[in-house]
Amino acid sequence: MAPSEALIPKSKWWHPTLSKQIVLGLVIGGFLGWLVPEWGIQSYFLRNIFLNLVKSIIAPLIFSSIVTGIAGGGELKKVGRMGAKAIVYFEIVTTVALFIGLAVVNITKPGYGVVLSTAKDELGSLGQSHPLTFIETIIHIFPSSIIDSMARGDVLQIVAFSVLFGMAVMAMGKKGKPVLEFCDSLSQVMFKFTGYVMKFAPFGIGAAMAATIGHKGLGVLVNLGMLVGTLYLALILFIVIALGTVAYIIRLPIRQFIKAVREPFAIAFVTTSSEAALPKAMEVMERLGVPRRIVGFVIPTGYSFNLDGSTLYLAVASVFVAQAAEGTTGVHFGFEQQILLMLTLMVTSKGIAGVPRAALVILLAALHSFGLPAEGVAVIFAVDELMDMGRTSVNVVGNCLASVVVARWEGEFDDDRARVFGTPLESKYDVEANEPAFAQSALEGD
């Protein structure tokens, strides 16, 4: 029996939903950053407070979700099968992203006419880092100290430790039950904690936009507009063509999915941080009908292996530099070389995790490998933050969709839960399923 709608709190105009609050904060922050740039720059501390709060959630949330998912009725065969399916899907989608970026940048040709100038001071910090090799990436997965991994927020290492720990808890049977119950309670508490932190999101996001506009001015929105436009066009085509095709194949409930990802998308877009959107993304995907064990494994793992927006950006940015270099050197970077460059990026982009300014580091390494001028990265610096907004938010959407793909592939996606997502019926569904944290989220609205 459906609950009476009179018992469900409605969102009044003076108490807008979180999504509307985030948009309002974004607009007000941008306006104040333009009107009073000094205030905009000084308000950056609010953005840092928000990010610090979110980062404090990540380690306990991932750990408790994965352990509960694996030990609470999971099987080792299921874990291995789920991991294999996730990796196959990640490789296919990121490859498609690379080639869509390659096609668009060759059509729009944003690099021709751009003059490259040296800016070694801007490249200095990047030159001190290097992308992880394949072997280094494999070694990096396994932590020597989980406390250190949690302190650094190394998502991939936390996932690896949590999977092994969950297997150990499951193998212990009754003796492991108290640990399982603790992790289940911890997971519920962390989702509730996420709800509290998200109430601060409009202020943190507004401050981030105010600081960006106040520091760089409105010019940051128009400099190198052709390059930025090319990237966003490629990202839109990727979402419509690639992710749209995937959504059709898996019979994704589009309307509910869009409603679910809009908040993590907005958080990632403005903060340019996938980590900032991670707790909310995990919460809404579980509420949408993806089992906890799949959410806890696929989304954090995808932050290292399924960076759709970042890999597409690498394709666009590298060919942009090649086009700009042709105007200076007269040497044409042919299609065969571009294909070889894409194959190189397919491998090196897997070492993005844990590297500061990861996408730019990978780009710098690729340019060096193919004899292209590193000064091209300095040119991109001017609008990299604006481009980072797009690629980071697409990373988040791609990983949310990946969790649904694996859940559907495993035959465990809950269509009934998906149908009631974001409706008054969701709170009743979650109460009956003994999910008090999700029931409260539904009552408060999205």
What's the distance, CA 294 to chain centroid?
Answer: 16
d(CA 417, CA 289): 5
Q: What are phi and psi of 226, to 5 degrees?
A: -65, -40
pLDDT category, 437, cuts 50, 70, 90?
A: low
User: For the segment 91-137, what is each residue's pLDDT rounded down to a tens digit?
Assistant: 899 889 989 999 999 998 887 776 665 444 444 444 444 555 667 76
The model carries a pTM of 0.71
User: For the segment 243-302, what is each residue's pLDDT rounded down to a tens digit?
Assistant: 999 999 999 999 999 999 998 998 888 887 777 888 899 999 998 999 988 898 888 888
Q: What is the mean pLDDT of the chain?
A: 78
The residue that leads in pLDDT, 59 or 156, is 59
Is 274 in contact with 264 (CB distance < 8 Å)? no
User: For the segment 367-400, what is each residue's pLDDT rounded down to a tens digit?
Assistant: 766 777 767 776 676 567 778 889 989 999 999 9
pLDDT category, 19, cuts 50, 70, 90?
A: low
Question: CATH 3.30.1220.10: does it fit domain 18-413?
Answer: no
Query: Is 220's pLDDT higher than 60?
Result: no
pLDDT category, 140, cuts 50, 70, 90?
A: confident
Burial class (CB in 10 A: 0-12, 13-18, 19+), 102: buried
Of 20-29, 42-51, 69-78, 192-201, which gets the smallest average pLDDT? 69-78
pLDDT of residue 408: 93
